[in-house]
Amino acid sequence: MKYKVICGLLMKLLLFSTLLSGAQITDPFNYLGQKKVTVNKGAVVSAHPLASNAGVRILKQGGNAIDAAIVTQLALAVVYPGAGNIGGGGFMVAHLKNGRNITIDYRETAPAKAGRDMYLDKNGNPQLNLSQDGHLACGVPGTVAGLFASMKYAKLPFKKLIQPAIELAEKGFAITASQADDLNELKNEFIQLNTSPPAFVKKTPWKAGDTLIQKDLANTLKRIRDLGAKGFYEGRTANLIVAEMTKGKGIISYQDLKNYKPVERKAIEFDYKSFHIISMPLPSSGGIILQQVLKMIEKRNIGAMKFQSAESVQLLTEAERRAYADRAKYLGDADFVKVPVKVLVSDAYLEARMKDYTAGRAGNSETIKEGIVKESEETTHISIIDAEGNAVAITTTLNGSYGSRTVVSGAGFILNNEMDDFSVKPGVPNMYGAVGSGANAIAPGKRMLSSMTPTIVLKNNHPYLVVGTPGGTTIPTSVIQSLVNMIDYNMKPEDAVNKPKFHHQWLPDEIFTEKDFDAATARRLQEMGYKITIRGEIGRTELIEIKAGKAKPITAIADKRGNDGAEGY
């Protein structure tokens, strides 16, 4: 029996290595993929080794980093359905070989029928289940539009880029043990929240190595291949989305879909030490939080402090506390509300924010409010570098794990539950414990605030790091710790990614740590007055380091915390 199971899994994995237009996975048993690769030309790191492999294969075939990003995103929509998607949204940050920095915002938007109080009952109390599960939780998807917006920077035809995803959906792939656990755990929700059972539901329990075939999704991808963005936002696919909304009392209309537009925005850019950092602007809070925290700690020389000592953890915690307080008060979609970004990231403002910082004593979120001014954790991130010097960081999401758990009947893809990322009611936390204000209130056409932080770091004007992570509101702090580990502590990239992480976000007023966080440091922090809460994994960072020099050694790291995979050549 054991022999048959192993042979069956082997045959499935060998199939995948051929169905992907010549993909070569050197060790079919090593389904978890490679956690570290050191190469000289290009690399892709993503949440699934099959997706990373598809991206690298396109690089080998003459594509650039943007081509690889498109291929990898589409493959993740098939092999990583908990967060990879065409029914959600995301952000792309890119540094092009000509020196230009670009960002593309394809965050979801609120439908035209959405309203500020749509999730409140008659007494004004939030009904958070409505913003988190089912049809009413869905924002207008942006991913497909984002893919086509990035095509102007690509080299290869879209039909070539989407084909690996079509084949994966049509012929199937072997699910991992964690995916089997997720699908079994969510079976009842998939049944309850869908008008017809999706491909994720089967009579017997899922097991690692089972083949997941998604024929409806394959047909949707073929329409996108043949018709472009209109294959999603108009015609049959759009009609299927609207029909699904009607059946489930959702509010996304055909016009909402037809009207969706991605936006190119000016990147958040700043210097930290001798490095130039490029990240995502609003409606992502990530870039602003990144800049605020790093600039608040820059003059305090955290690198001279022992790594993850109580002293260094306190410094980062207090900077994070202040940045997240500002996030709650001021940040939202800048196309709808006035956000004082220039002030929030100014040196004078950030110095003033840290004036009441006292080493050795815990701050208090009751007294440390926002300064005075005159997102499931099931997100997914992709880091890419190519041989030409193009670097791409993309973070994309459905919000919660498997989004709204609503699958568009006949189209085969999951819709997001991003409406929960709005402030349903000021001061009331969302599914990640984050609170907000009127700046992030619901309005038709508005983009909900995000924490996604796709980031590129330049050294001497050349790409040095490409980094990002999933994790909801823990995303910015995870990226910050990876950068501090690399820049201030001069760690090897695998150590920078895999060291224990911690997180503070103003409210709730506690430091969250992973279970392997140093116990002595935790005790000292408690003595200072901090509440310490041990939780599960914090982030799954995908990082690429590009060293200078003729050989240009590239080290790509996939976080040990997941089934993520690094590939390169």
CB atoms within 10 A of CB 396: 30
Q: Report how far residue 188's alpha carbon sits from residue 201's, in angstroms, rounded to the nearest whole number.
A: 9
Residue 22's H or E segment, with its range, is none
Type of residue numbered 352: A
* Alpha carbon 4 to its chain's center: 38
Q: For residue 421, what pLDDT is reported?
A: 92
Q: What is the mean pLDDT of residues 533-554?
A: 89
Percentage with pLDDT > 70 across the chain: 90
Q: For residue 512, what pLDDT is reported?
A: 97
Tell me the longest C-alpha to C-alpha distance in the chain: 71
Q: What is the mean pLDDT of residues 490-504?
A: 98
**C-alpha angle 499/472/193, rounded to 5°?**
130
Sign of CA dihedral 362, 324, 288, 146: positive
**C-alpha angle 557/83/206, rounded to 5°?**
100
pLDDT band at 191 (very low <50, low <70, confident <90, very high): very high
Tokens of 35: 């956690």
Let me know if 474 is a catalytic residue.
no
Q: For residue 430, what pLDDT is reported?
A: 63
Q: Report how far residue 497's alpha carbon sits from residue 560's, in angstroms, rounded to the nearest whole number.
A: 8
Q: For residue 370, what pLDDT is reported?
A: 59
pLDDT greater than 90 at residue 182: yes
Contact 305, 112 (CB under 8 A): no
Q: Report how far residue 285's alpha carbon sits from residue 97's, in angstroms, rounded to the nearest whole number.
A: 27
| Average pLDDT of the residues of the chain | 92
**C-alpha angle 411/416/422, rounded to 5°?**
155
Q: Which of 379, 455, 513, 555 is catalytic?
A: 379
Question: At 439, is the secondary structure helix, strand, or coil?
Answer: helix
Instruction: List residues bridging with 273 in a β-sheet.
Output: none
pLDDT greater than 70 at residue 15: no
